[in-house]
């Protein structure tokens, strides 16, 4: 059984059909990339997994539970961490306050919350150095790190990330993906939405390509990286650069 199993999922905004019957799986220990151009339905997929949107039909099974009708915080309690599009950190709160907001389900166990924050500061020493600073003063890369750390406070089984490399310089994009690999090495499965197909296909085990609300291609990341259609549409058509 997969950790995440999506079956024939349809999601609409009024008359706009954003997802038209998608199937997608994430097995335990996998890094799966969800690629596709602007408006393909990537964010809609993640928001539906998180319980922020309701499907019109179809199923989302997470950790063996059908989560379609659960509330977002109940899905978090089952072990889902979501790093939303645009990071959504609170600029006028400190780094430490932002981090601890990720642990709202531990609010009655402050010592445990402090321990988890401590352990994340070991993984992200840069955040520790800046823990008393207002989050709004962090660089883009540091803000993304904070958004990721915040989603890890509750030790999720599955981390879903929406365009974590958006707006970052190439060196930082590389850093974010090495953080993603490190998180997986610690036993967290990953579903990452990306427009940066090249870097995502280097890091992921498998990938899906979403086009206008449908899965157009799926397979091992290495195979997709050498697929003619993927190269033409998402890797700039350059046969030598995808390596
Ligand atoms: N809140 C919304 N209201 C109406 N349409 C939306 C809304 N959010 C997204 N859409 C539409 O749904 C489709 C998929 O959007 P989205 O999931 O954000 O795509 P992606 O993340 O791949 O760029 C697009 O056609 C988009 O215009
Ligand atoms: Mg999006």
Q: How far is the CA of 12 from the centre of ligand 1 (A)?
A: 9
Nearest CA to ligand 1 atom 26: 39
**Confidence label for 202 from pLDDT (cuts 50, 70 and 90):** very high
pLDDT of residue 243: 37
Q: How far is the CA of 41 from the centre of ligand 1 (A)?
A: 6
Range of weakest confidence among 63-67, 211-215, 217-221, 225-229: 225-229
Start-to-end CA distance of the chain, whole Å, equals: 33
Judged by phi (left if over 0) then psi (alpha if -120 to 50, else beta), residue 229 lies in alpha
Which ligand has the nearest atom to the CA of 34?
1
The answer, yes or no, to whether any atom of ligand 1 lies below 6 A from the CB of 82, is: no
The answer, yes or no, to whether any atom of ligand 1 lies below 6 A from the CB of 148, is: no
Nearest CA to ligand 1 atom 16: 41
Element (H, E) at 184: helix 170-185
Q: Which atom of ligand 1 is nearest to the CA of 210?
A: 22
Which ligand has the nearest atom to the CA of 52?
1
pLDDT of residue 107: 86
Q: Please check whether the domain covering 1-79+156-243 is classified as CATH 3.40.50.300.
A: yes
pTM across the whole model: 0.94
**Confidence label for 237 from pLDDT (cuts 50, 70 and 90):** low
Q: Which atom of ligand 1 is nearest to the CA of 40?
A: 22
Measuring CA to CA, which residue among 86, 37, 39, 34 is closest to residue 236? 37
Distance, CA of 45 to CA of 50 (rounded, Å)? 9
Dump the DSSP string for 71-115: -HHHHHHHTEEEE-TT----TTSBHHHHHHHTTGGGTT-HHHHHH
Q: Which atom of ligand 1 is nearest to the CA of 85?
A: 21
**Confidence label for 238 from pLDDT (cuts 50, 70 and 90):** very low
Distance, CA of 39 to CA of 180 (rounded, Å)? 24
> Which residues lie below 8 Å from residue 178, measured CB to CB, with a gap of 6+?
none
Write b or e for each residue in 69-95: b if 16 or more Cβ atoms lie within 10 A of its Cβ, otherwise e: ebeeeebbebbbbbbbbebebeeeebb
Q: Which atom of ligand 1 is nearest to the CA of 162?
A: 21
The answer, yes or no, to whether any atom of ligand 1 lies below 6 A from the CB of 38, is: yes
pLDDT per position as a tens digit, 135-159: 999 999 999 999 999 999 999 999 9
Q: Where are the domains of the chain?
A: 1-79+156-243, 88-155
pLDDT per position as a tens digit, 72-122: 999 999 999 999 998 789 999 999 999 999 998 898 899 999 999 999 999
The answer, yes or no, to whether any atom of ligand 1 lies below 6 A from the CB of 39, is: yes
Whole-number CA gyration radius for the chain: 18
């Amino acid at each position: 059984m997969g950790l995440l199993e999506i079956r024939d999922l349809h999601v609409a905004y009024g008359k706009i059909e954003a997802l038209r019957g998608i199937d997608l799986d994430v097995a335990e220990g996998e890094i799966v990339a969800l690629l596709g151009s602007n408006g393909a339905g990537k964010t809609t997929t993640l928001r539906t997994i998180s319980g922020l949107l309701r499907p019109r039909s179809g199923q989302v099974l997470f950790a063996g539970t059908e989560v379609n009708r659960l509330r977002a915080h109940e899905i978090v309690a089952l072990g889902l961490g979501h790093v939303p599009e645009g990071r959504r950190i609170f600029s006028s709160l400190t780094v430490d306050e932002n981090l601890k907001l990720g642990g709202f389900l531990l609010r009655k166990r402050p010592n445990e919350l402090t321990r988890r924050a401590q352990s994340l500061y070991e993984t992200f020493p840069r955040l520790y150095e800046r823990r008393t600073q207002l989050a709004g003063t962090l660089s883009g890369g540091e803000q993304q790190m904070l958004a990721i750390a915040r989603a890890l406070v509750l030790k999720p089984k599955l981390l879903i990330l929406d365009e974590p490399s958006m707006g970052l310089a190439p060196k930082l994009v590389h850093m974010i993906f090495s953080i993603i690999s490190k998180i997986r090495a610690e036993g967290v499965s990953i579903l990452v939405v990306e427009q940066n197909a090249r870097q995502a296909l280097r890091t992921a085990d498998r990938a899906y390509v979403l086009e206008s609300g449908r899965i157009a291609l799926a397979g091992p990341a290495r195979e997709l990286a050498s697929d003619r259609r993927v190269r033409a549409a998402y890797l700039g058509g350059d046969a030598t650069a995808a390596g």
